[in-house]
Structure 1
Amino acid sequence: MSANMDSGKKHIAMYIGSLNKGGAERVMCNLAEYFYNAGYQVTLVTTYLADDEYEVADRKWEPVMEKDKADEPGRLIKVLNMDEHIKTVRMKSSEEPGIDRVFTALMPDEKGKRVANFRNRVKKLRDTWKSLKPDLILSFLGKNNCMAIYSARGLGIPVVVSVRSNPSREYGSKGLNLAMNMLFPKAAGVVVQTTGAAEYFKDCIRKKCWILPNSINPSFMKGNIVPFSERKNTIVSVGRLDDNKNQILLIRAFGKIMDEFPDYRLVIYGDGPSRKKFEKEAAGIEAARSAGTSGSSDDHTDGNRIVFMGNVSGVADKIRDAKIFVLTSKQEGMPNALIEAMSMGLACISTDCPCGGPRDLIRDGENGILIPMGEDSAMEDSLAKALRSLISDAKKCEAMADAALAVRKDYSPEKINSQWKEYFEGLMRDT
């Protein structure tokens, strides 16, 4: 008898590579908690155990550290982390309530040659679906989506795949794009975050597309909105430091105006492979400015004006009292960081990047400013102009910040989560 029949609850299996701290992983964790609290049985199926994962309320697993007592209750299993090192996880008994988890990485003794490994991965995932017998499978991201559809073929389980960024980027390789075009027509549904993302697919896939944007992380909805008059003269950016997020554009644009507005700072939150490059660029701008002013500027701040904070916990509280938020991505799905900044009443500037997430959120000149995509120098000038216009016109800046707060209603967790629930219920009724 299947687990969902035993419990009398509908069972949703959610499949992703790991619960590492990224945007897609956070959305899946939020959905897992929502559906569990709404009375569903939920199992998270991941390939790996990440070393730094999101906390999941009501989880039925716990990584085991060396200092942990071996005699604590629970079943111990061996899993792999993302570097394919063996780790130990303690699982609660199947009778206990909570969000369950299954790991599907091939262990060292299950590995062989490349072709055999692919077959074994598919078999292990297929055996997972046979064992869980979920009423629906939700998969996130690139190769996972193709694997979910392929491994569940013939089992009668509806598979919903979700593309979390620009499809042309997520399925950029020739092989993965071919697999996507072959397998996505067999999915029960394809969730995208923007209208632009849906338009990427051929007709037989596009007709399966359902637009479900990200909701606002509840932590950003807590607390009072800081009055504009009490906000600090700070420009903030939040995100992974890499060439796609393109924070170097913001660093250079701020460099163009920083002498005009000596009481403003740029504070960048996040870490990533481009951090050293971005820090070097910022240091060069600071050094050139110091040399040019010979230490006699009217700078009202202490130390550097461009600050890198790295990864921090509680980022909502860190940026809550800033005035301006900037997103500089080359490509985005529905950018969590932008929605969250708008929800706290920051005046927001974003590149008008594909596949249209910022454009779905921002009405240019009303609740934010969109920077047209183009050559780097032109974008730097456009961003510098936008920053100058908000800093020099407090009334305009405050009006855009106030208008941005409407996202609290349009993208509230209650509203977006209920759309996911309605969509899933419809698919489960049809099978």
Structure 2
Amino acid sequence: MEKRHLALFISSLNKGGSERVLVNLAEYFFAQGYRITIVTQYRSESEYTVSEGIERVLSDITENEKKKSRVVNFYRRFMKLRDIWKKEKPDLILSFIGKNNIMAIASSRFLRIPVVVSVRGEPELEYYSRGLRFAARTMFCLADGVVLQTSRCLDFFPLPVRRKAIILKNSLHPAFIRESYEGEREKRIVAVGRVDANKNHEMIIRAFAQIAPEYPEYTLTIYGEGDLRPKLLKLVEEMGVSERVALPGAVMNVADSIYKASVFVLSSFSEGMPNTLLEAMALGLPVISTDCPPGGPGELIDHGKNGLLIQPGDTEGLAENLQKILNNSSYMEEMGKNASKVKEDFNPETINGTWQNYLEKIIKEKSQDFKFTGGYGR
């Protein structure tokens, strides 16, 4: 029997949360005996690696193919992507994020290839303009499946899309499935994520600077790369905490880097189901997170029991909650112990199996549709 072939489509494999979920899924399906093709528009400088045997195809046009006309360049990108689907003939296309989802649906029309699109964050932000929102709400009606991160995301879409939508969780990376650290925790506050405006690491720095005099042994480390890193380094200097705040950039082994820390902070304005928060909780870290749309942190955290929630942008609230944890070691320990229970709900075997069952269901349903209706012409 020929291997089932899945094509996974995303802009790049640049180190970010959505990209990591896609790579995790690619590795899982590859280990299950599937043929996997990852289609990206381009390669970035810092990317997740994939196993040898997983194919990689680039869909963007080359410099030689580009013209001065944006319309012509769009048409060429569209046709190149369509030609990839024609050549690869996958049993299913799984697309991630924003415009990619719209392109995946449009470029594969009438090719008899089922398409599942996945919205990874707040739909209002992922489809940020009036034109993109109209396109998403209409084009998603033509998708064979729609994967969302939280139930609140459903409100963005019309009824025909909501009827075919499903909420699928992100699986934990195996590196984060380990026993919680039992020794005395390092006096470090940590954060992990792309250093951009949405992550709002500035709030963590300002909150830490407020409480720093009271906790002279504690430091703050923010792991991640991004355009705002120089600005944050300047802010650290201005706040007078240069000796106690580090922004080392991206690290290869996040789990080991944060494993023994005292507190993990997520300060985003918007998150779907944030991998970094989930992973920190799985390691048994006490966590503080913004209760941001579309509601991922709020679904993970039972406030006061396995973590603490604050409003986005609430620097004072973050400072107060940091003090609440740092002042009470038994509370810190209990919260971390409760947080680690997310391993039960997000273990890779269960979650990846759910994705597999869903995608297989879509493939089989479309196969039956094509068999009884004649399908679309190639």
Query: Which position in structure 2 is the counterpart of 1:145?
Result: 101
Residue 107 of structure 2 corresponds to residue 120 of structure 1: no
Q: Is the 1:246–1:329 contact (alpha carbons within 8 Å) kept by the matching residues of 2?
A: yes
Query: Which position in structure 2 is the counterpart of 1:38?
Result: 32
Match of 2:155 among 189, 195, 199: 199
Q: Secondary structure at the match of 1:329?
A: coil
Residue 51 of structure 2 corresponds to residue 57 of structure 1: yes
Query: Which position in structure 1 is the counterpart of 2:235?
Result: 281
Q: Is the 2:16–2:193 contact (alpha carbons within 8 Å) kept by the matching residues of 1?
A: no
Query: Which position in structure 2 is the counterpart of 1:266?
Result: 220
Q: How does 1:2-17 map to 2 (within 5 A)?
A: 8-17=2-11
Q: Is the 1:286–1:305 contact (alpha carbons within 8 Å) kept by the matching residues of 2?
A: no
Query: Which position in structure 2 is the counterpart of 1:169?
Result: 125
> How far apart are the structure 1 equivalents of 2:73 and 2:219?
51
Runs of 4+ in 1 over 4 A off after TM superposition: none
Match of 1:220 among 173, 176, 187: 176
> How far apart are the structure 1 equivalents of 2:40 and 2:212?
46
Query: Structure 2: which amino acid aligns with 1:99?
Result: I
Q: CA deviation at 1:225?
A: 2.5
Match of 2:41 among 34, 43, 47: 47
Query: Which position in structure 2 is the counterpart of 1:363?
Result: 302
Query: Which position in structure 2 is the counterpart of 1:157?
Result: 113
Q: Tell me the C-alpha RMSD between the 2 structures.
A: 1.5
Residue 44 of structure 2 corresponds to residue 109 of structure 1: no
Query: Which position in structure 2 is the counterpart of 1:420?
Result: 355
Query: Which position in structure 2 is the counterpart of 1:78?
Result: none
> How far apart are the structure 2 equivalents of 1:49 and 1:393?
46
Q: CA deviation at 1:279?
A: 1.8
Query: Which position in structure 2 is the counterpart of 1:76?
Result: none
Query: Structure 1: which amino acid aligns with 2:57?
Result: V
Bigger radius of gyration, 1 or 2?
1
**Inter-CA distance 255–221: structure 2 relative to 1 (3 Å threshold):** same
Residue 64 of structure 2 corresponds to residue 129 of structure 1: no
Query: Structure 2: which amino acid aligns with 1:100?
Result: E
Query: Structure 2: which amino acid aligns with 1:144?
Result: N
> How far apart are the structure 1 equivalents of 2:195 and 2:100?
24
Query: Structure 2: which amino acid aligns with 1:38?
Result: Q
Q: Is the 1:19–1:25 contact (alpha carbons within 8 Å) kept by the matching residues of 2?
A: yes
Q: Secondary structure at the match of 2:213?
A: coil
Q: CA deviation at 1:162?
A: 0.6
TM-score by length of 2: 0.93
Q: Secondary structure at the match of 2:87?
A: helix
Match of 2:192 among 238, 241, 246: 238
Query: Which position in structure 2 is the counterpart of 1:74?
Result: none
Q: Secondary structure at the match of 1:105?
A: coil
> How far apart are the structure 2 equivalents of 1:51 and 1:346?
31
Query: Which position in structure 1 is the counterpart of 2:289?
Result: 350
Residue 241 of structure 2 corresponds to residue 311 of structure 1: no
Q: CA deviation at 1:226?
A: 1.4
Query: Which position in structure 2 is the counterpart of 1:390?
Result: 325
> How far apart are the structure 2 equivalents of 1:116 and 1:215?
40
Q: CA deviation at 1:355?
A: 0.6
Query: Structure 2: which amino acid aligns with 1:324?
Result: V
Unaligned runs of 5+ in 1: 1-6, 59-97, 288-302
Q: CA deviation at 1:186?
A: 0.3
- The answer to which of 345-354 and 103-112 deviates more is 103-112
Match of 2:141 among 178, 185, 191: 185
Query: Structure 1: which amino acid aligns with 2:194?
Result: R
Q: CA deviation at 1:256?
A: 1.6
Query: Structure 2: which amino acid aligns with 1:313?
Result: M
Measured against aligned partners, the alpha-carbon deviations of 1:372-401 in whole angstroms (never above 9, x if no partner) come to: 24xx4xx11111111111111111111110
Pairs aligned (count): 365
Query: Which position in structure 2 is the counterpart of 1:70?
Result: none
Q: Secondary structure at the match of 1:31?
A: helix
> How far apart are the structure 1 equivalents of 2:195 and 2:2?
45
Q: Identify, as 1 or 2, the structure richer in helix.
A: 2
Q: CA deviation at 1:52?
A: 2.2
Q: Is the 1:21–1:52 contact (alpha carbons within 8 Å) kept by the matching residues of 2?
A: yes
